[in-house]
Amino acid sequence: MALFGKTRESRAPVRTIEAGGLSDGTLTLTLAQIDPLAVNVVKVDDSRSLAIVVMPDGAYSAFNLQCPHLGANLADGAFCTKDGTLRCPWHGYEFELGEGRFIRNPNVETLAKARVKGANFDPDKAIDYRLRLYPATANGGQLVVELN
Amino acid sequence: MRYEFSLVYDLDTTVAAAVAAYLDAEHYCYLHSKYSPAYEVIEHEDCKMLVRQTWVLGPWRVGQTYTTVYEPPARFIAFDINPSPRWLPSIHHLMKVRTDLRYYPNGSGDKTVSHLDVVIEIPFWLWPLRKLVRRRIEQLKVEKDAEDIEMIDRRAAIFGRGNIKAYLPEHQFLFHKDHFVKHFGEA
């Protein structure tokens, strides 16, 4: 995953964490396992991976790695440590990671001439994609992520 | 002098999914950022568009413009490639390239044939370089297709092979979407 924002072109490390502490739909990690300057990818099981990042205010955000737009692997995207946003690697759609809200489609300006209303496309129709977030709470040197 | 060649191979997906990926212009600057860091539609009239691709080269922004025509359901023609800005030294001042890409089902109907015909008008003194130009065009096509197929494969694993439903909602942009839906909306 790449960083963007102030350090747009630099590559942020993607760290993989072993999901050792999984029980009853709760994932427990030590805070020492989490790199605050990296995207920490946790493979929960064969079909599910999540990422944990540290937000600008120090809170933790845990989210599903599948883009809600067309399914890209968000681990290949760009995470901005400055404002806690993520850019999808396929279409550039941007999401904020506090609530998982879609915030911007950067193609709107460059493709404006072709984005004309038709029977099957409405450029004014709001996009309502949302990342799947998992509640993550830091407590006593541990981070508890609720997966269900 | 006129030099022609074709590049034909199978893509392991349905024609609808291949066409959707082609018309899904929003991914050009991101998935294909290595080739199209900036892509802009300058003029648009039904199935014909003038587009500009640009790259940052040191302190300059350089690029090219070209005209594309979509002939539904699955034919894509590109021609009239010019450097942008026009005064920029470029091989496109010396030769003209026209590409004609068609997608159609293969014999067994389970894959898509990608059939690219290329015509190059080239001055006689550049004739010895024709195969170099050909290799470059073929390389670009194969590399971009590989990136698209990676996207298509991942989508197939998640949503099912040939599933194009995510492209159909009203908010989802595709080039020439009404034509696409007319031909592939039920796919």
ipTM associated with this complex: 0.90
pLDDT of residue B59: 83
In the predicted model, what is the mean pLDDT of chain A? 87
Q: Is A116 in Cβ contact with B26 (below 8 Å)?
A: no
**Nearest residue of chain A to residue B25 (CA atoms):** A111
Alpha-carbon separation of residue B102 from A103, B93, B114 (angstroms): 36, 27, 6
pTM of the shown model: 0.90
Kindly state the DSSP code that residue A101 receives in the 8-state scheme.
Answer: B
Is pLDDT of A3 > 60? Answer: no
Q: Does A129 touch chain B (CB under 8 A)?
A: no
Q: What is the pLDDT of residue B36?
A: 77
Query: Mean pLDDT throughout B74-103?
Result: 94
What's domain A14-146's superfamily in CATH? Rieske [2Fe-2S] iron-sulphur domain (2.102.10.10)
Residue A29: enclosing H or E segment and its boundaries?
Answer: strand A26-30
Please report residues of B whose CB lies closer than 8 A to that of A105: 26
Distance from the B139 Cα atom to the nearest Cα atom in chain A, whole angstroms: 21
List of residues 6+ apart from B67 with CB closer than 8 A: B48, B49, B50, B51, B78, B79, B80
Q: Does A15 touch chain B (CB under 8 A)?
A: no
Report the side by side order of strands in the sheet with A78-80: A2-3, A78-80, A85-87, A94-96, A102-104
Q: Is it the case that residue A5 has pLDDT exceeding 90?
A: no
In this structure, the strands spanning A78-80 and A2-3 are parallel
Q: What are phi and psi of B137, to 5 degrees?
A: -65, -45
Each residue's pLDDT tens digit, A109-128: 999 999 999 999 999 998 88
- Does the beta carbon of A137 lie under 8 angstroms from any beta carbon of chain B? no
Q: For position B15, what pLDDT does the model report?
A: 97
Tell me the C-alpha distance between A33 and A18, whole Å: 9
Domain ranges across chain A = 14-146
Q: What is the pLDDT of residue B30?
A: 93
Residue with tokens 């994609």: A129
Q: Cβ distance B12 to B149 under 8 Å?
A: yes
Contact between A70 and A90 under an 8 Å Cβ cutoff? The reply is yes
- pLDDT at residue A12 in the model: 63
Q: Of B31, B172, B185, which is closest to A90 when you measure between CB atoms?
A: B31
pLDDT tens digits for B143-159?
999 999 999 999 999 99
